Amino acid sequence: MPNSDIKNVQSLLLGENNELITDAVRKDARNIVGEVVTEAIHDRQAKDGSLVKTIAPMMENAISQSIENNKATFVDAMYPVVGSLVRKSVSVFFNSFLEKLNHLIEYSLTLKGIKWRIAAWRQGVSFTQYILKQTFVYRVEDVLLIHKTSGTLLLDVAAEQSECNDPELTSAMLTAINDFMMDSFKHNEEVILDTIKTQELTLVLANSPKAILVAAVSGIPPVELQTHLQQTLDDIHQLYFTELDEFVGDTAPFIKTESHLRSCLLSELNQSEQEKKAPWLAIALLAILMLPLSYLGFQQWKTQQVVNALMAMPTTPGLHLESVETDSGNILLTIMRDPVAVHTKSWLASNELDLANIVIIEKRFASLAPEVIHLKAQKILGNTEFKFHIEGNELRLTGGNSRQLSNQLLSELNSIPGINQLNTAAVRPIRQPQMSENQAATLLFDQLKKELASLTITFDKQSADIASNMLPFVVSAKVHILNLIQLAKQLSVPIGIVISGYSDSTGNQAQNLALSQQRAEQVKLSLVAEGVPNNMLHAVGIGEVPFAQVEFEARAVMFSLISLSPQNQARNAND
């Protein structure tokens, strides 16, 4: 059949450009490919592994793009893996740290460690080397892959703490020795060294036409090592034949043989060394180190607990917690306390606090809390028939009778800080036996004079300022003085108030005198500001009160009233 006819028949059957066939296939392409795609991929990968190479870059792109677009999905997917990875790496780190620490202690602190040190020194080797020698039956220190003809080192891997320096020169020299051997013994065929022994090391060699694999071994190498080396070298030789054959100096392609070489870093532990299991020494040392730390921590925690409890304690009238500080295990508690309030120690004890390491610093103050005022009034009126009721600043008395209402009682009630007014309207009046108005005024005058003399305003060290807790006493002094002036006028008795300032006996005497003067002046100023006439007051500094036992009370200001007694008064009138 002529060629043109065949072509005609072909175009009739298959179409002009085979489109009849390709169209038919295309219509069903999805099904056809779909049926075999998995097997086809599998077969191709098995055949030449090209699939991985083709897909890998695509997958890398796809993953990086996917991460860029939706990070959260990836984070979620990776989360469980990353967590366990981190845990694993931390635990590996910790284990190896413990192991190293254990070795360190074992070889430096124990009797065996000292013995070994002496032995190492006697043999003139480093302690590390000696330990290795004692610990291992044998250990491969270094593995060298050498290009056979040039003696160039292609790659070397060393065990931990190995001390092989300059593997390049070792490789070259080994080749040179081989060459020298062949020349010296006139061998025409190849001479193959298979072991070289020194006191410390044995070099075990495996040979192939293009390369030499050398293992530097300490201890006694087993026979299997040589076999293993030979097998490894054969593998390398097979895989890298071209690179070895065409080698002219570039060692880069042989970096990939590292895993092969690493597989030759074999070792065998001494029987006694193998028995070791847990690193007890390290654990014990760590525990000993941790003990004082945890004790300190516990003490700190206990103190903090007490501090927290103190801060959280409910307040009690008349007690004011100023500050809580800790100082080397002790707790410094600064507290302001009204004299009638509950004692600090019993207050702490009632809150179930251990007083063992609490140092209490107490400051006096007059509390204006209703409960405290009530308590003070109760104390004064406890033995009388009176009942009382306090509302705001006013104290209302009920019960009893006016005869029982002595001046002393009234002035005591009056001097309670926080009480400004006394209401005695509800007290049953009983006609007093006749007493002249003057007599009554004289009695009250004397009473108030006594009370004024008993008022003391105390000061902080080296200070002439009136502390806020002393203000109620100043006010009390004012009330007394104004009443006294009033009564004196009534009785026509000339009076004057001397305000005397004192200081304690520590420090410079001259300065103390000045300080005592300042204190008196300061109180005088306050009284004048409160409305006491200036010409009635005389401030004077007395200086030191040399009683160390009453140091606190010595830093004070006191009041004295000077008046003429009736006899002198008469004489005065005659003058």
Partner 1 sequence: MISLKICLIGGSAVGKTSLVRRFVDGIFSEKYLTTIGVKIDKKQIDFDESAVQLLVWDIEGTDKFSGFNPRYLNGAAAYIVVLDQSRPDTLEDAISLYQQAKVVSQSPAYLVINKSDLPSKLTQIQLDSLADFEFSHVITTSAKAGDNVEKLFELIAKQASMECEPNGE
Instruction: Check residue 251 for interaction with partner 1 (CB under 8 A).
Output: yes
Q: Which of 124, 249, 314, 531 binds partner 1 (CB under 8 A)?
A: 249
Q: What pairing do the DSSP bridges indicate for beta strands 495-503 and 537-544?
A: parallel
Instruction: Check residue 208 for interaction with partner 1 (CB under 8 A).
Output: no
Q: Which of 125, 172, 390, 514 binds partner 1 (CB under 8 A)?
A: 172
Q: Which is nearer to partner 1, 244 or 405 (CB)?
A: 244
What dihedral do alpha carbons 546, 550, 553, 554 form, nearest 10°? 10
Left, alpha or beta for 175 (phi > 0: left; psi -120 to 50: alpha)?
alpha
Alpha-carbon span 236 to 157, nearest angstrom: 15
Q: Which is nearer to partner 1, 153 or 422 (CB)?
A: 153
CB of 240 to partner 1, least distance (A): 16
Instruction: Check residue 248 for interaction with partner 1 (CB under 8 A).
Output: yes
Which two three-digit tokens encode residue 271?
């029987």
Instruction: Check residue 179 for interaction with partner 1 (CB under 8 A).
Output: yes
204 with 194: CB under 8 angstroms? yes
Q: Which is nearer to partner 1, 175 or 512 (CB)?
A: 175
Q: Which is nearer to partner 1, 165 or 238 (CB)?
A: 165
* DSSP-based three-state secondary structure for 541: strand
Alpha-carbon span 181 to 186, nearest angstrom: 8
| Candidate ranges 168-176, 348-356, 361-369, 374-382; the one touching partner 1 (CB under 8 A) | 168-176
DSSP 217-228: EEE---HHHHHH
Instruction: Check residue 250 for interaction with partner 1 (CB under 8 A).
Output: yes
| Candidate ranges 38-46, 78-86, 244-252, 467-475; the one touching partner 1 (CB under 8 A) | 244-252
Contacts within 8 Å (CB) and 24+ apart, 427-436? 427/386, 427/397, 427/398, 427/399, 427/400, 427/401, 427/402, 428/400, 428/401, 428/402, 429/401, 429/402, 430/401, 430/402, 430/403, 432/402, 432/403
| Candidate ranges 8-16, 114-122, 179-187, 379-387; the one touching partner 1 (CB under 8 A) | 179-187
Alpha-carbon span 422 to 373, nearest angstrom: 13
| Candidate ranges 110-118, 151-159, 256-264, 433-441; the one touching partner 1 (CB under 8 A) | 151-159
Instruction: Check residue 164 for interaction with partner 1 (CB under 8 A).
Output: no
Look up residue 151 and give its amino acid.
G
CB of 127 to partner 1, least distance (A): 30
Instruction: Check residue 149 for interaction with partner 1 (CB under 8 A).
Output: yes
Non-local (6+) Cβ contacts of 20 within 8 A are: 13, 14
Q: Tokens 């990968």 map to which residue?
A: 45
Q: 51 φ, ψ to 5°?
A: -65, -45
Instruction: Check residue 446 for interaction with partner 1 (CB under 8 A).
Output: no
Instruction: Check residue 169 for interaction with partner 1 (CB under 8 A).
Output: yes
Q: Which is nearer to partner 1, 175 or 503 (CB)?
A: 175
Alpha-carbon span 426 to 165, nearest angstrom: 112
Q: Which of 147, 320, 374, 519 binds partner 1 (CB under 8 A)?
A: 147
Q: Which is nearer to partner 1, 19 or 250 (CB)?
A: 250
CB of 79 to partner 1, least distance (A): 42
Instruction: Check residue 180 for interaction with partner 1 (CB under 8 A).
Output: yes
CB of 152 to partner 1, least distance (A): 5
What dihedral do alpha carbons 528, 530, 531, 537 form, nearest 10°? -30
Q: Which of 153, 261, 422, 527 binds partner 1 (CB under 8 A)?
A: 153
Residues 62-101 that bind partner 1 (CB under 8 A): none
Q: What pairing do the DSSP bridges indicate for beta strands 421-423 and 394-398?
A: parallel
CB of 192 to partner 1, least distance (A): 14
Instruction: Check residue 173 for interaction with partner 1 (CB under 8 A).
Output: yes
Left, alpha or beta for 35 (phi > 0: left; psi -120 to 50: alpha)?
alpha
Catalog residues that contact partner 1 under the rule CB under 8 A: 147-153, 166, 168-169, 172-173, 175-176, 179-180, 182-183, 248-252
